[in-house]
A and B are shown apart, each in its own frame.
Chain A
């Protein structure tokens, strides 16, 4: 390996590492606020990229039906709640965001999909179609058991991943897709070619790390959100709505996911199940950061990207083996640093 190859590998590793970092950030965000280990985070990435690819071929993507279906289920659950608690007035806003909004989005998508629209419109439509799935999933899958132990929430996450990956195959088929780059710019730096797309990826990751760090460490609202994870009853007593917090952070997580999908779509071919692996690599990174800090998680994810890139040069068949086995020494280090818990958790 000479320097040129090493630099190219590093560049490649940094680009995928930046995407993993975005995943890691979303995972830490969701975990810090809701205690949910959100295994299906990567599905947002795949759904985002493939929805955009579908719109490019002027077809109405299957995510429309998921949006409408989830909205209807969420509304039905809210109806049951409203009847039980005798608070019918709450149904009005619920009907708005769970029924009317998805219908509006679906209608717009159905109207625009067959037309030849500019890329930006298609991207906007992708966001509108996929991002609301975040809070809807929270409402349907997690909100009814928000008080459950972490492990139960984790099993629910894995079940959701199972269902979503099946739906992904149903909606998008087994073939992969690529989307066009939204920045054609490119610059030559010696032997190194830097594309505008890659710069976008770096800039977005950095901006998000900074924003999340500042929000959770420096603002009262951010600290309040963290408090909900530590002590849900306490948070509610001090006026923090844990449900609203959960929905908000799932919204942000979905936003990050779709964003990553749109960013990575032009760089690599995305299949319906790509998201899972990308998400898990983000996980390995997040765990390196101890599942707590945003800068630490992002750094860990970058390291995963670099390691993967170099591993694919030396032993490409074992790339996944190396990346996922990496978690074992990481856990070992965490374990040696761990303090003895004197509180029980179930």
Chain B
């Protein structure tokens, strides 16, 4: 509750400041608000989704120029100018996002540098936009016939937008889509295995950040009532990113803090170096450049990370989520096989990692997939879940061909997996991590999550996640940071996350590695219970004792080739298996 109090205090300060502050300060306050709108976009784009853009200033420019041109030349209402600005910016961002989203991370920032420059020169050279001298005579905004001309009115309007944006972004980040956005930074492969369409989400986030920038540009144009290319150049775009990084790029309050600090710093520099007024600009950028390097080297979390560590105990107590149960898939009772792998082959260049392997998983059984290191077990897993493409052969699920499908679509059909190298989001709680597994079981999209119009669905998702955590016996770790749990428990969290997807087929990649003896027994009990409920499980494991006591059948791989298949007792006596494992019959 203390955090709530802090937010209320902020609103009060922002709201009451213009009553006591001089005119000049109010204008500065308006600028801080305009910058904050842009840095909030960067917070989501860079801090949460891990994409970098140096071109946000160009988006601001698009928003500003669209309304400036329409309203000053054609006398169109600024509100139509807003829509036009958002539409143009959205279209630009959509195209750029679609183009760069398939490329590795550094192509997007490079693209934004290049087109940030190109838009700047475009603004400066288009005759109808006034060239480098710009456009003037932009009308002020009007509400119900009242024109906003005083600086305090601009201040009020701008900060209303900022506060709404702050609230909405917090809604977004705490939602189903917000959890998915967090996976974009370093855990996209995992997210795809649980049905997150990471490409579409990347584009959505990029467009969202661009629209916030365009909104800031619209407000700027009608406050300043004059636009020229200078405030939309690349260096300003870099400065926006700098604000976000200095404030703390992973958090909305960091965005606000960064805008505030940089604006204040500029003021101080300009008044402290009066004798250097002619050259203060260059000192400013030298200092900013050096400061940014130092921040990235010493305190990558920015100022907010430093503050929030000191006030961590102010965070509200987490509440146990309560909600109705989600509908579950019926487990098939038919006789036919659940999963069929037929002559699957995967070649990496000359190396054949999986060589014409065939096997099937029957409903309600635990099938063990064993083999020495490098036998191709994990590759087989990745072929089934669609992370790798088959070189030849096919995979069928309930008779339907699933090889060639994208991981999202395979996940949608009821196949969930864990990873040999644990892929959790270390800074999220166990609960949030497990809730990612249930991603496909509710549908609210970006807009509904932004408006927090998914309260019922969100409650059901979290309640389901909580139930799965209780089921695997991690109830007391529900609200702890997943990255702080011991490795054995992290593996169990992975199982809970897979269970949250309500799978028919569970693929477990070495779940017992790193577990202690008693924990292994607990895990074996859990897996037996799941089987009793009708779940089918494909288990890759090294620990023979663990596997032998648990599974109905075993498939043995060696050097990518299937060596043997059968019940544990027969496998134990198989001479080929003994040779592979022990180097010859003893």
B359 within 8 Å of A (CB atoms): no
B14 within 8 Å of A (CB atoms): no
A320 within 8 Å of B (CB atoms): yes
A341 within 8 Å of B (CB atoms): yes
Contact call A167/B286, Cβ cutoff below 8 A:
yes
Q: How far is the CA of A151 from the CA of B297 in the complex (A)?
A: 13
Q: Which residue of B lies closest to A284 (CB)?
A: B114
- Which of B50, B118, B125, B388 is the one whose CB lies under 8 Å from A151? B50
- Which of B105, B107, B279, B289 is the one whose CB lies under 8 Å from A160? B289
Contact call B115/A327, Cβ cutoff below 8 A:
yes
A37 within 8 Å of B (CB atoms): yes
Q: How far is the CA of A149 from the CA of B249 in the complex (A)?
A: 15
Task: List B contacts of A151 (CB < 8 A).
Answer: 50, 52, 105-106, 109
B292 within 8 Å of A (CB atoms): yes
- Which of B52, B95, B242, B282 is the one whose CB lies under 8 Å from A154? B52
Q: How far is the CA of A334 from the CA of B284 in the complex (A)?
A: 38
Segment of B24-32, B170-178, B184-192 engaged in the interface with chain A: B184-192
Task: List A contacts of B456 (CB < 8 A).
Answer: none
Task: List B contacts of A284 (CB < 8 A).
Answer: 114
Q: Which residue of B lies closest to A143 (CB)?
A: B297
Task: List B contacts of A163 (CB < 8 A).
Answer: 285-286, 288-290, 293
Q: How far is the CA of A335 from the CA of B101 in the complex (A)?
A: 8
Q: How far is the CA of A43 from the CA of B585 in the complex (A)?
A: 69
Q: How far is the CA of A162 from the CA of B50 in the complex (A)?
A: 22
Contact call A335/B102, Cβ cutoff below 8 A:
yes
Chain B interface, >50% SS class: helix
With contacts A318-B121, A320-B117 taken as known, whether A327 is within 8 angstroms of B238 at the C-beta atoms is no
Q: Which residue of A lies closest to B109 (CB)?
A: A154
Q: Mark A305-346, 1 if CB is under 8 A from B, else 0.
A: 000000000000110110111011001101100101111111
A176 within 8 Å of B (CB atoms): no
With contacts A163-B290, A169-B282, A345-B186 taken as known, whether A324 is within 8 angstroms of B114 at the C-beta atoms is yes
Q: Mark B212-242, 1 if CB is under 8 A from A, else 0.
A: 0000000000000000000000010010011
Q: Which residue of B lies closest to A272 (CB)?
A: B282
Q: How far is the CA of A284 from the CA of B125 in the complex (A)?
A: 22
B412 within 8 Å of A (CB atoms): no
Q: Which of B93-111 contact A (CB under 8 A)?
A: 95-96, 99-107, 109-111
Q: How far is the CA of A166 from the CA of B113 in the complex (A)?
A: 18
Q: Which of B278-303 contact A (CB under 8 A)?
A: 279, 282-286, 288-290, 292-293, 296-297, 300
A75 within 8 Å of B (CB atoms): no
- Which of A283, A318, A338, A346 is the one whose CB lies under 8 Å from B50? A346
Q: Which residue of B lies closest to A324 (CB)?
A: B118
Contact call B110/A327, Cβ cutoff below 8 A:
yes
Task: List A contacts of B121 (CB < 8 A).
Answer: 318, 320-321, 324
Q: How far is the CA of A344 from the CA of B50 in the complex (A)?
A: 12
Interface size class of B (residues with CB under 8 A): 35 or more
A158 within 8 Å of B (CB atoms): yes
With contacts A328-B99, A328-B111 taken as known, whether A150 is within 8 angstroms of B117 at the C-beta atoms is no
Q: Which of B233-275 contact A (CB under 8 A)?
A: 235, 238, 241-242, 245
Contact call B52/A155, Cβ cutoff below 8 A:
yes
A88 within 8 Å of B (CB atoms): no
Q: Which residue of A lies closest to B189 (CB)?
A: A344
B352 within 8 Å of A (CB atoms): no
Task: List B contacts of A321 (CB < 8 A).
Answer: 118, 121-122, 125
Nearest CB on B from A161, distance (A): 7
Q: How far is the CA of A148 from the CA of B106 in the complex (A)?
A: 13
Q: Which residue of B lies closest to A158 (CB)?
A: B238
Q: How far is the CA of A164 from the CA of B286 in the complex (A)?
A: 7
Contact call B114/A335, Cβ cutoff below 8 A:
no
Q: Mark B43-71, 1 if CB is under 8 A from A, else 0.
A: 00000001010100000000000000000
Q: How many residues of A contact B (CB 8 A)?
A: 51
With contacts A37-B106, A318-B125 taken as known, whether A152 is within 8 angstroms of B118 at the C-beta atoms is no
Q: Which of B159-196 contact A (CB under 8 A)?
A: 185-190
Contact call A283/B110, Cβ cutoff below 8 A:
yes
Task: List A contacts of B420 (CB < 8 A).
Answer: none
Nearest CB on B from A142, distance (A): 9
With contacts A151-B109, A159-B242 taken as known, whether A342 is within 8 angstroms of B103 at the C-beta atoms is no
Contact call B105/A150, Cβ cutoff below 8 A:
yes
Q: Which of A161-199 contact B (CB under 8 A)?
A: 161-167, 169-170
Q: Which residue of B lies closest to A319 (CB)?
A: B121
B387 within 8 Å of A (CB atoms): yes
Contact call A152/B300, Cβ cutoff below 8 A:
yes
B528 within 8 Å of A (CB atoms): no
Contact call A166/B283, Cβ cutoff below 8 A:
yes
B382 within 8 Å of A (CB atoms): yes
- Which of A150, A161, A338, A342 is the one whose CB lies under 8 Å from B289? A161
Task: List B contacts of A156 (CB < 8 A).
Answer: 292-293, 296-297
A144 within 8 Å of B (CB atoms): yes
With contacts A155-B241, A346-B185 taken as known, whether A145 is within 8 angstroms of B292 at the C-beta atoms is no
Chain A interface, >50% SS class: helix
A287 within 8 Å of B (CB atoms): yes
Nearest CB on B from A60, distance (A): 19
Task: List B contacts of A165 (CB < 8 A).
Answer: 285
A76 within 8 Å of B (CB atoms): no
- Which of A331, A343, A346 is the one whose CB lies under 8 Å from B100? A331
Q: Which residue of B lies closest to A332 (CB)?
A: B99
Task: List A contacts of B242 (CB < 8 A).
Answer: 159
Task: List B contacts of A332 (CB < 8 A).
Answer: 99
Nearest CB on A from B379, distance (A): 11
Contact call A162/B185, Cβ cutoff below 8 A:
no
Q: How far is the CA of A165 from the CA of B288 in the complex (A)?
A: 12
Q: How far is the CA of A311 from the CA of B293 in the complex (A)?
A: 37
Contact call B297/A328, Cβ cutoff below 8 A:
no
Q: Mark B430-454, 1 if CB is under 8 A from A, else 0.
A: 0000000000000000000000000
Contact call B115/A162, Cβ cutoff below 8 A:
no
- Which of A158, A167, A335 is the one whose CB lies under 8 Å from B99? A335
With contacts A162-B235, A324-B114, A324-B117 taken as known, whether A331 is within 8 angstroms of B103 at the C-beta atoms is yes
Q: How far is the CA of A225 from the CA of B292 in the complex (A)?
A: 29
- Which of A149, A164, A317, A338 is the one whose CB lies under 8 Å from B102? A338
- Which of A150, A280, A334, A345 is the one whose CB lies under 8 Å from B114? A280
- Which of B110, B118, B289, B296 is the one whose CB lies under 8 Å from A162? B289
Q: Which residue of B lies closest to A335 (CB)?
A: B102
Q: How far is the CA of A340 from the CA of B103 in the complex (A)?
A: 9
Nearest CB on A from B43, distance (A): 15
Task: List 12 other contacts, CB 8 Å, given A164-B289, A324-B117.
Answer: A148-B300, A152-B300, A156-B293, A162-B238, A166-B285, A170-B286, A283-B114, A320-B117, A321-B125, A328-B96, A331-B100, A338-B102
Which residues of B pack against A, CB within 8 Å? 50, 52, 54, 95-96, 99-107, 109-111, 113-115, 117-118, 121-122, 125, 185-190, 235, 238, 241-242, 245, 279, 282-286, 288-290, 292-293, 296-297, 300, 382, 387-388, 423
Which residues of A pack against B, CB within 8 Å? 37, 39, 141, 144-145, 148-152, 154-156, 158-167, 169-170, 277, 280, 283-284, 287, 317-318, 320-321, 323-325, 327-328, 331-332, 334-335, 338, 340-346
7 chain-A/chain-B pairs, Cβ below 8 angstroms: A151-B50, A161-B289, A166-B284, A169-B282, A277-B117, A320-B117, A341-B104
Minimum-distance CB pairs A-B, first 5:
A163-B289, A162-B289, A324-B118, A159-B292, A346-B186
